[in-house]
Each structure stands twice: as structure tokens, then as C-alpha cells.
Amino acid sequence: SAVISQKPSRDICQRGTSLTIQCQVDSQVTMMFWYRQQPGQSLTLIATANQGSEATYESGFVIDKFPISRPNLTFSTLTVSNMSPEDSSIYLCSGGQGNTGELFFGEGSRLTVL
Amino acid sequence: GENVEQHPSTLSVQEGDSAVIKCTYSDSASNYFPWYKQELGKRPQLIIDIRSNVGEKKDQRIAVTLNKTAKHFSLHITETQPEDSAVYFCAANSNTNAGKSTFGDGTTLTVKP
């Protein structure tokens, strides 16, 4: 199975600030995704992180709010910009191989915005 | 896009009983159906999956069935144990959807000792 490391594991942030979450995957992963999981809810896809190019965002998510980078195959960052309390959530990095469909998840980053 | 519905949202069973969780999907192009288990405070982890060319798959106490015609698939857990208590998510994935998975809303399973 793939190994996915994510940091920070949790943070408490002030309204209006931005926070960047880092994700490192091992070489078995070719595709990387960022999900949001609000308390007691399902996983909602934010975007697909594309290596060396702009991420592909899902409906309801925009680059200005959630800029994503993926400078190489095994590393990606998600920034949550200009945070508000509504952004309090768990953000999960995930990776997979497109041909199998199975996803491996990082341990998640729990953000609390005050 | 794909829409996955999952039922029930909560399920409580006695230890040793069976548990069944059902999902339906909308996109006939979906061809990969994984099930993830998420224990409290932990990451989701794959427990079993099935592809569209197979009707049923078993792994010890866990089985998944797929009905492509009706566009539904189910997770069956037999001889449940307290450690089976968790949130279970179904998902659907299509080769035409760039590897993205669409998740159901989750089922909170509680196994009472």
C-alpha cells in the first residue's frame, strides 16, 4: 500500500489568515487529490492536484480560496486562504493510481478557525 | 456527474449479527466500487472493492455484491465484532472520470457487545 504523510495534523487559526497543508506520497501514487471532510460528514473532493500545472477544481471550489501546488510527482500543498469559521474541517490528502481506483489517504489535517 | 446514495445512515447490531449497507449510483460508466472504513479520528482505509465485471467478492467476514443493471452495490459484514464499529463509506469510480471517486454519505455502524 502507498504511504501518504500530511502535516500539520491539526491547527487552530485566526479568521482572515491562510494556512498551507503539505502532503508527501511515495512513488506508488500517480494521482493526488484533496478532500474536505466536515464533522460527521462524507468526503467531498476539492480538486485534483496535477503535476506541474494548475489543479482541476470541483464545482463549488475555486483556486483563489484553495490554491494547490504539485511541483513534482510525490508532493502537493493545499492552502486554505482567508479562512473563516466555515472552513473548520478536516482536509485529507489522498493518492492513487488511476488504473486501480483505490485511494490511500493521509491522516488528515484538522483545522479550527476562530 | 456521478451521484452515490448510501443507506442506512446509522446501523446498530448485536455482536455476532450481520450488517448490510447499501449504495446506489447514477453513472453507468462507473466500473470500480470501493468500500472504506473510517474509525473515529483516523483516516479512511479500503476494506474491500469490486469491479464491474464481477458480481460478488468475499474477504473473510466481508463481502460486496454488485448489480450493474440496477446500479446498486452492497457491503455485507457477517459475525460482527465490536471492532467493526466505525463509519463505512461506499464510493464509485469511473475510468472516464480521471480516477476521481464519488463517496456516499457514510454509515455509522455500532456493534453492541
B99 vs A31, A104, A105: nearest CB: A31
What pLDDT digit, counting tens, does each position of A41-79 carry?
999 999 999 998 899 999 999 999 999 999 998 999 999
Confidence of residue B98 (pLDDT cuts 50, 70, 90): low
User: What percent of chain B is predicted at pLDDT more than 70?
Assistant: 96
Q: Which candidate, A36, B67, B15, places its Cα nearest to that of A47?
A: A36
Q: Kindly report the backbone phi and psi dihedral angles of residue B69, in degrees, each rounded to the nearest multiple of 5, phi listed first.
A: -60, -45
Q: Please state the rounded mean pLDDT for residues A68-91.
A: 96
Q: For residue B34, which residues of chain A lie inside 8 Å, CB to CB?
A: 101-103
Contact of B102 with chain A, judged by CB distance below 8 Å, is answered with yes
Confidence of residue B95 (pLDDT cuts 50, 70, 90): low
Per-residue cell: A80:
486554505
Q: For residue B95, which residues of chain A lie inside 8 Å, CB to CB?
A: 98-99
Residue with cell 473515529: B40
Q: Please state the rounded mean pLDDT for residues A21-31.
A: 87
The average confidence (pLDDT) of chain A is 92
**Contact between chains at A106 and B43 (C-beta distance less than 8 A):** yes
How far apart are alpha carbons B89 and A21 in whole angstroms?
24
Q: Which amino acid is at A61?
A: F
**DSSP annotation string for chain A:** ---EEEE-SEEEE-TT--EEEEEEE-TT--EEEEEEE-TT---EEEEEEPTTS--EEPTT--TTTS-EEEEETTEEEEEE-S--GGG-EEEEEEEE-TTT--EEE---EEEEE-
A98 vs B43, B49, B99: nearest CB: B99
Q: Quick one: pLDDT at residue A112? A: 97
Is residue B97's pLDDT more than 70? no
Is residue B7's pLDDT more than 70? yes
